[in-house]
Homo-oligomer: A and B are copies of this chain.
C-alpha cells in the first residue's frame, strides 16, 4: 500500500497555501497518496477566482507585497497557485471541502471550484483519512 499524507489547510494566507501545495505536490511526486482538506480561511481560497488573492501572513516583513512575492516566485520558477492546484488534481491528489465551514460562512457549492473538489464533507471524513496517513499536517 502507498504511503499517505493528509493536510488540513486552515489558513488562507498566501504563503501558507503555497507551502501546502508545494508539500502536496512533492508528496504526490514521491508516490504518496495525498488528500488536502480545506477548512475555515483555507476553504475561502477555493472560491472561484480567489486562489491568488490570498493575503500574505507577514506581507510587510521584508517590504514585499503580494505582487513582488509573485514576481520573485515566477523568477525562481515556482508555478502559480492555480497551476499547482490543477497539477495536484491531475496527479491524483484529492481536494476535500469542509461542509461545516460552508454552512457557517454561507458559502454555496456553486461559488466554489467544483471542477477540482472531489468531496464535500466533514471532520469524520478527515479523521478516516488521517488515521491511515503517515504524514499529517495542520497548515
Taking beta carbons and an 8 Å cutoff, which residues of A are in contact with B? Answer: 3, 5, 8, 10, 12, 15-16, 18-19, 22-23, 25-27, 29-30, 32, 39-41, 44, 55, 57-58, 61-62, 69, 72-73, 76-78, 100, 103-106, 122-124, 126-128, 130-131, 133-139
Given contacts A39-B19, A104-B73, contact A130 B123 (CB under 8 A): no
How many copies of this chain? 3
Provide the residues of chain B in CB contact with A10, threshold 8 Å: 15-16, 19, 139
Rounded to whole Å, the gap between the CB of A138 and the closest CB of chain B is: 4
Q: Which of B3, B23, B44, B128 contacts A123 (CB 8 A)?
A: B23
3 smallest A-B Cβ distances: which pairs?
Answer: A26-B123, A76-B103, A137-B138
Rounded to whole Å, the gap between the CB of A79 and the closest CB of chain B is: 12
Provide the residues of chain B in CB contact with A69, threshold 8 Å: 104
Given contacts A72-B105, A78-B100, A103-B76, contact A58 B26 (CB under 8 A): no
Q: Could you tell me if B133 and A22 are in contact, using CB atoms closer than 8 angstroms?
A: no
- How distant is the Cα of A134 from the Cα of B63 in the complex, in angstroms? 38
